[in-house]
């Protein structure tokens, strides 16, 4: 009976670690814009329920990259990103980004036309 209880505890702790790992989102963000990024918010595609800021630390300068890690279970692979720029607090939105296999994403933005583009390695 004791061996069965110890086995159950070991299995529970192992499964607990797996569940935690599945609830964490991690990727490399590259600022391909010409402006420093102060905040990065995430929402399921076309829902507009934005997360809190997941960009930790100081503003991400143009050309810089930073690993983004946040606790969140992604139920839908397609997510939107909203950034707040540090220089004038303006915002831009990137829509319909596949987050399920995302490893690295480069955000680009033309402030004059308002066009956002992204390239990513899965």
- Domain locations along the chain: 25-121
**Residue 68 to residue 55: CA distance in whole angstroms:** 6
Give the pLDDT confidence of 44-67 residue by residue, as tens digits. Answer: 999 999 999 999 989 999 999 999
The rounded mean pLDDT for the chain is 84
**Residue 34 to residue 122: CA distance in whole angstroms:** 24
pTM: 0.78
**Residue 40 to residue 52: CA distance in whole angstroms:** 8
- Sequence-distant (≥ 6) Cβ neighbours of residue 60 within 8 angstroms: 29, 31, 36, 37, 66
Give the residue-averaged pLDDT of 27-31. 96
Sign of CA dihedral 55, 84, 108, 72: positive
Tell me the fold of 25-121. Immunoglobulin-like (2.60.40)
**Residue 33 to residue 110: CA distance in whole angstroms:** 8
Among 15-19, 37-41, 61-65, the least confident range? 15-19
Structure tokens, 64: 């810089």
pLDDT, residue 12, reads 45
Give the pLDDT confidence of 80-104 residue by residue, as tens digits. Answer: 999 999 999 999 999 999 988 789 9
pLDDT, residue 27, reads 94
């Amino acid at each position: 009976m004791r061996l069965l209880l110890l086995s159950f505890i070991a299995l529970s702790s192992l499964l607990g670690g797996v569940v935690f790992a599945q609830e964490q989102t991690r990727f490399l963000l590259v600022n391909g814009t010409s402006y420093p990024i102060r905040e990065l918010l995430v929402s399921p595609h076309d829902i507009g329920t934005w997360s809190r800021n997941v960009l930790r630390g100081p503003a991400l300068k143009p050309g810089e990259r930073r690993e983004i890690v946040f606790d969140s279970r992604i139920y839908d692979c397609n997510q939107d990103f909203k950034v707040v720029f540090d220089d004038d607090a303006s915002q831009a939105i990137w829509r319909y980004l596949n987050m399920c296999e995302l490893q690295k994403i480069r955000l680009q933005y033309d402030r004059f036309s308002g066009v956002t583009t992204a390239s990513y390695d899965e």
